[in-house]
Chain A
Amino acid sequence: MEVAYGSGDGDENASAKVSGQDASMGAIFEQKYRPWEGKLGPRWIRNYAIFRHHVYGIFTSKGHRQYHAFVRLSIVVIFLGALTPIAMLFLSSLFGGTEDELARMWGVNRYNLWGQVLGYFPRNLCFWPLLTAMVVGGMISDDRKNGTSAIYFSRPVTRTDYTIMKFVSVAVILGFVIIFSYVAYYTAAIVFRGEGWAYLVDTLPLFIAGLFCGILLVFTYTSIGLALSSISQSRFFSAIAFLSVIYGTKLVALLVDAQFDSSILYILSPYDCLAHIGQYLLGIELNYDHPLSLSIVSILLMNTISIGILTTRVSSLEVTRE
């Protein structure tokens, strides 16, 4: 106070003593080490914790992996978009008989079952690639960026378990939207139109073929997406790279097909390989001139390479400082 407001001549050594002693922080804190007598659970509990952390985060932000609100909102929009045929089935059940236009357009048939999973617009142009890009974006790249891989690998979590549980988590989220909407569509078609056992027996093989295509699509997109997530520290890179792979290969093949009338480059496009296999399995007219075997081999190669990259990159995640 003397320094600020005093009546001296100002030539004295200006210093202020603020406090004679360190002020107390005012908190009562007794540091006490508490031992823990509990027993650690087995491997499946650890793996389930990884799964729960990633999957529950989609539904609730409390206590689990944080997904951006935009991501969660987008997933809801995509999910509702994938369910729109159900609404049309419902309308057709209200307004028409078995031969009405709505039932023909939206009801169960080879083309609609294929289209529910592998249709290009809007599902494979807008829905599934965007959904995958948003989900896989930070799945492994965030661990590399934040160093959280140390939290996993300094514990009894093996790299195999880590990779498998990350894979399963992404596949379940994608499956929840893609497979669930497909199954819901088929179920709704039976329930809303009151179909019987004969209808079920007739359409079940087609449904199972479509289901297989859905599982193959989820597996392929997950493996490619996670491979891209594992090679980077940026969730943005992973997402953009995935979209580039899906759209880029499709566009190049489309241009080559248009210019040279050859569909062979579609074997580079994950979507087109899946669509080719799906068309064959569901017995609809093939859009591709090249042999189906090439698409099958291509899908197998894409998955093998992706999983190879994924495991290699996961094995390079560090625990200790380099």
Chain B
Amino acid sequence: MVTSSGSSFVIETSELVKMYGPHLALDGVNLKLERGATGFLGPNGAGKSTFFKCILGLIKTTSGDGSVLGYDIRTQGEMIRSRIGYMPEYDSLDPDLIAIDQVRYSGELLGMNSKQATQRAHEVLEYVGLKDQRYRKIETFSTGMKQATKLACALIHDPEILICDEPTNGLDSRARTFMLDTLKKTVTDGGRSVLMSGHVMDDIQEVCENIVMIHQGRIVVHRQINELARQVDVEIEISVWGGSSKMQTALEERGMSVRRLGRVMRVKQDSPETINQILSTAADCNVQVRKLNEYKPDLEDIFLLIMERLGQEVKGAKDLMTEGHTGGGEDF
């Protein structure tokens, strides 16, 4: 799908800089997001919220350009916010209202007339699983139901982009699964784009195919999650019994890279022979290998690895990342 400007990207920014006084919140952000689900990761204060505020046209950027769905973020904020659904992380609901009225009012604030907003509020509340609770006061809702109501408020006008700020915060396992399924369905069935920020890597991995990592106002990684996972070293995870230290020393003497967590060790797989080498080392050391499997890195591993590396030199992301992590490209 092509946006009103003719571009296939839903969000584009170029050298976006935002300064709060002397504090640099966004440092030359270059980003091109295609349709689909994208996860935003970064520690607190990394610039995620500032970036969202910039693309919603809520704050003035210090320099640089940007567009959302073809609309300029500096001059067409209202148009952008008409076509975006935003689900805040914290409570943003009037506890005295019943759910249907809250969702209807949020639709009216977008310019829907009362009849349209009421009809649509029923539809979206059903979609988020609150059909039977729509006439209950929000103050009686659980955290999961409040999150679902916020999602309904964001979806009422069928936005092209849905921005969710930590949508699974405070949810139990069942509510979390439902929320993530709903977001996935919004992308797959609804054909909408979802931008989701959070700290829980599993959630982002479950919904998103792309990931953007922000650190100290810079985009340090922007790739497909699967692609990124492939670029992290593959390891063989073994669980040993009777002589872990001896085994670790023996493996390292044979030139293998070992990470040890108690009786569990992860050995970097340099070649298909690695498994045989591990087993023969175990036999030589007279150590039992009770479990052996290929360890698949998840987003958490990738995130921690990248942040650990960034911690060594704050602004030197490009220098610190290996070609394997960056894919060898100009932009991560």
Contact = CB atoms under 8 A, between A and B. Distances in A.
A175 interface: no
B127 to A, nearest CB: 6
Residue from A36, A146, A157, A158 having most chain B Cβ neighbours under 10 A: A36
Contact of A319 (B53, B110, B158): B53
Interface in A10-36: 29, 31-36
Interface in B40-90: 49, 52-53, 56, 58, 77-79, 81-82, 84, 86, 88-90
B110 A320 contact: no
Residue from B77, B105, B165 having most chain A Cβ neighbours under 10 A: B105
Contact of B93 (A35, A42, A146, A321): A146
B123 A34 contact: yes
B111 A156 contact: yes
B97 interface: yes
6 contacts: A29-B129, A32-B127, A45-B108, A45-B113, A152-B109, A156-B78
A150 B153 CA distance: 11
A154 B153 CA distance: 11
A191 interface: no
The 10 A-B pairs at the shortest CB distance, nearest first, are namely A49-B108, A154-B86, A40-B111, A41-B111, A36-B158, A66-B96, A33-B190, A156-B78, A320-B49, A150-B92
Interface of B: 49, 52-53, 56, 58, 77-79, 81-82, 84, 86, 88-97, 101, 104-106, 108-113, 116, 120, 123, 127, 129, 131, 153, 156-158, 165-166, 181-182, 185-186, 189-190
Nearest to A149: B92
B130 to A, nearest CB: 11
Contacts of B84: 154
A41 B158 CA distance: 15
A53 B96 CA distance: 13
Contacts of B108: 45-46, 49, 53
Interface of A: 29, 31-36, 38, 40-43, 45-46, 49-50, 53, 62-66, 142, 146-158, 319-322
A50 B109 contact: yes
A32 B186 CA distance: 9
Contacts of A62: 101
A148 B138 CA distance: 13
B98 to A, nearest CB: 8
A151 B92 contact: yes
